[in-house]
Structure 1
Amino acid sequence: MKKDSERRILLGRVAGAFGVRGELKLESWTEPRSAIFKYQPWILRTPAGQESEISGVRGRDSGKHLVATFPDVTDRDVVESMRGTEIYIARSALPPPNPDEYYWVDLEGLDVQTVDGVKLGQASHLFSTGSNDVLVVRGDRERMVPFVMGDFVKSVDFDANLIVVDWDPEF
C-alpha cells in the first residue's frame, strides 16, 4: 500500500466545455459536489495517461453542472481536448477525518474478518445505496456488508490493517 503522501484520490472528471470562453463542465464525486474546489493542487490525468498539476482552479455550481475555470485556459477547443481528464489529489491534502469517520480510500485494502475470527478477504471498495454505505469484501468470493458501525462493523484498526464485522461468512 502506498504511503498517504503518495496515494491519490480520484475526485472527478472533466465532462466537456461550458460555453465558448474556455469554461469546463466537471463531474465531482465529493460531497457536496462543489467541495472539489477546496482541494488543490489537482493532478490531472488525460485519457492518454499524461499527467500535470494545476492550482488556482475556480468554480461554481450552476445547478445542472459544476463549472470551472482553469488558469490560462480560455479556448473551447482546448477544453474539448481535455474531455475525460481525471482529477486527482494527494491523499495528504485531505483534512483528518472526525473520530469514528473514515475516508473510503483509507479502508480499501484492509483485511476483513468476522467477530469469530473467520477471514473474509480484503476491503475492495465501498459504495452508497442512499440509506447506508456498503463495504465490498473480496476473498474466496465477493461479499457486501452494510458499513454500519456498531451493527455490522465492529471495529476498524489501521495499525492491525483490520476491519472486524459481525457477519455470517455463509451469507
Structure 2
Amino acid sequence: MPNLPVLPAAELPPDAVEVGRITDAWGVKGWLKVLPYSSQPEALLGARSWLLQPAERGAKSFFTGTVALEIRQSRVHSDAVVAWAQGVDDRDAAEALRGARVFVPRSAFPQTQGEDEFYWVDLIGLEVVNREGVPLGVVRELLPTGPQTTLVLQYEEGGKPHERMIPFVSAFVDQVDLAGKRITVDWQPDF
C-alpha cells in the first residue's frame, strides 16, 4: 500500500483560478512535477498554499472534493514547476497526487508590474467595443501566437455564434478597463 499523504479538506474560494496540473513525482523525496497553464507561472510559484481537486477524467484519485496542500518550496524546472509540499515526503506520496488540478485564489496572485500588464484570467469575459462604441464580442480566450497574444472574441450574428480574433497589441488596443469590464480597440466589425 503506497504512503498516501493526509491532506485537509478545504473550500474552493469564489476567486479560485486553475493554474496547473500535477503530472508526476519528481525525484525520490516527494517533490511534485506540475504543468503550469501559463508560460510565466508567478501565481503558482508565489502561493504558499495550493488547493487541489481530482482530475476531471483519466487518473484516479485517493481524495474527493477540494484539499489544501502547503508548499515548502517551488521553482521552475525546464518547462514545468517542481514543488515540495508538507506531508508529501516520498515518491509514492507524490505519485498519488498525479493528475490533481491545482488552484490558487486570484487574490494571492502577485501584483502586475505596469499599467499595461494584465493577467489573462482577468481579460476573459470582458466586453470588447471599437472606438465608435460598436460591440465586437466578449473575450472567450487568449492565444499565444508567436510574438504577440491574440484575443479570441465570441459574438452572435443572425442567431449563430461566431468568433473574431484581434491582436492584443497597442496598435489595436486603446484601453483595458478592468473595473468597467471593457476593452476598447481600433478595429472594425467587418475585419
CA RMSD after TM alignment: 2.2
Residues 1-171 of structure 1 correspond to what in structure 2 (within 5 A)? 6-33=14-41, 36-47=44-55, 50-63=65-78, 65-97=80-112, 98-140=114-156, 141-149=162-170, 151-171=171-191
Post-superposition offset of 1:136: 0.9
2:110 & 2:26 partners in 1: Cα distance?
31
Task: Report % sequence identity.
Answer: 36
The unaligned stretches of length 5 or more in structure 2 are 1-12, 57-63, 157-161
Provide Cα deviations, 1:21-44, integer angstroms capped at 9, x if missing partner: 322211123454476322232111
Q: Compute the displacement of 1:73 (Å).
A: 0.9
**Structure 1-normalised TM-score?**
0.84
Deviations 1:101-146 (A, max 9, x none): 2111111111111112221111112121220111111112111110
Partners in 2 of 1:64 and 1:8 — Cα distance? 23
Contact kept? 1:26, 1:67, Cα under 8 Å: yes
Residue 109 to residue 131, structure 1, CA distance change in 2 (3 Å)? same
CA contact (8 A) 2:43 2:108 kept: no
CA distance in 2, matches of 1:24, 1:113: 43
Aligned residue type for 1:43:
L
Q: Which runs of 4+ in 1 moved over 6 A?
A: none
User: Retained in 1: the 8 A contact 2:44–2:104?
Assistant: no
1:152 to 1:7, Cα distance in 2 relative to 1, 3 A: same
The alignment of Structure 1 onto Structure 2 pairs a total of residues equal to 166
Q: Which amino acid aligns with 2:100?
A: T
